[in-house]
A and B are shown apart, each in its own frame.
Chain A
Amino acid sequence: GDSVTQKQGQVTLSEDDFLFINCTYSTTTYPTLLWYVQYPGQGPQLLLKVTTANNKGISRGFEATYDKGTTSFHLQKASVQESDSAVYFCALVDPSSFSKLVFGQGTSLSVVP
């Protein structure tokens, strides 16, 4: 079946550091790939999505490229702020059912001032 893997469970950075969160996926279909961000006490919020291979999604300074060759969708940000502290989930959309998401394990980002 489909799967999404995030190797990093926790990342701690200082403000203005570069962020890189690893995400790889496995599927036999042509999925849409997404990043959700979940702040404490809230549900996941869509951060960005990319529907086509080799395209890049950009939102609020975050970016991710849908790399079909390496089956990756890593999340990057040039300079993180304390307000970016949250849990980040990589996910793919099952094209047979747009409501069926396969989530990665999540990466908890902590940004210290």
Chain B
Amino acid sequence: GALVYQYPRRTICKSGTSMRMECQAVGFQATSVAWYRQSPQKTFELIALSTVNSAIKYEQNFTQEKFPISHPNLSFSSMTVLNAYLEDRGLYLCGARTGHQNTLYFGAGTRLSVL
């Protein structure tokens, strides 16, 4: 079946530093990857959508300068949170799907804490 792995599962960084998180799709080709952030209140924010061989589309309030994303092949994507501050805390979720499907499969997320 389709599986999405994210690592690290948890990370703590000092305010103003950066951290990178990774997303691996197993058992299917992740032609599209969506990065979401889930707040402590459980609400979801879409950060960006990435499709292999296409430009990455960032949602309003999120930029490439702050959340650079790499999606080099059909099984892997990474995102970095640059200059993290308290408001960047949350659970970062990677959702992946293959081209002809309209179902996103999510990983367990990377929980970011900022000191």
User: Which of A49, A93, A98 is B32 in contact with, Cβ under 8 Å?
Assistant: A98
- CB within 8 Å of B: which A1-49 residues: 32, 34, 36, 38, 41-46, 49
Residues of the A chain whose Cβ atoms lie less than 8 Å from the Cβ of B95: 99, 101
Per-residue interface assignment for chain A, residues 43 to 66, with 1 indicating a CB less than 8 Å from any chain B CB and 0 otherwise: 111100101000000000000000
User: Which chain B residue lies CB-closest to A41?
Assistant: B108
Let me know if A99 and B32 touch, CB within 8 A.
yes
- What secondary structure prevails in chain B residues at the interface with A? strand
Q: From known contacts A98-B32, A99-B95, A100-B49, infer whether A106 and B101 are also in contact, taking CB-CB under 8 Å.
A: no
Let me know if A98 and B42 touch, CB within 8 A.
no
Bound: A93/B32 CA distance, A: 14
Cβ of B3 to closest chain A Cβ, rounded Å: 11
Q: From known contacts A99-B32, A99-B49, infer whether A105 and B106 are also in contact, taking CB-CB under 8 Å.
A: no
Q: Is A103 an interface residue (CB 8 A)?
A: yes
Bound: A49/B104 CA distance, A: 11
Q: From known contacts A98-B101, A100-B34, A100-B49, infer whether A44 and B42 are also in contact, taking CB-CB under 8 Å.
A: no
- CB within 8 Å of A: which B61-113 residues: 91, 93, 95, 97, 101-109
Residues of the B chain whose Cβ atoms lie less than 8 Å from the Cβ of A44: 93, 106
Q: Is A97 an interface residue (CB 8 A)?
A: yes
Bound: A22/B105 CA distance, A: 23
User: Which of B33, B46, B106 is A100 in contact with, Cβ under 8 Å?
Assistant: B46
Q: Is A80 an interface residue (CB 8 A)?
A: no
Cβ of A97 to closest chain B Cβ, rounded Å: 6
Cβ of A57 to closest chain B Cβ, rounded Å: 12
Cβ of A19 to closest chain B Cβ, rounded Å: 19
Q: Is B53 an interface residue (CB 8 A)?
A: no
Let me know if A106 and B103 touch, CB within 8 A.
no
Seed contacts A43-B107, A99-B95, A101-B104; 4 additional CB < 8 Å A-B pairs: A34-B103, A46-B104, A97-B49, A98-B103
Q: Which 4 A-B pairs have the closest CB atoms?
A: A43-B106, A98-B102, A99-B34, A103-B44
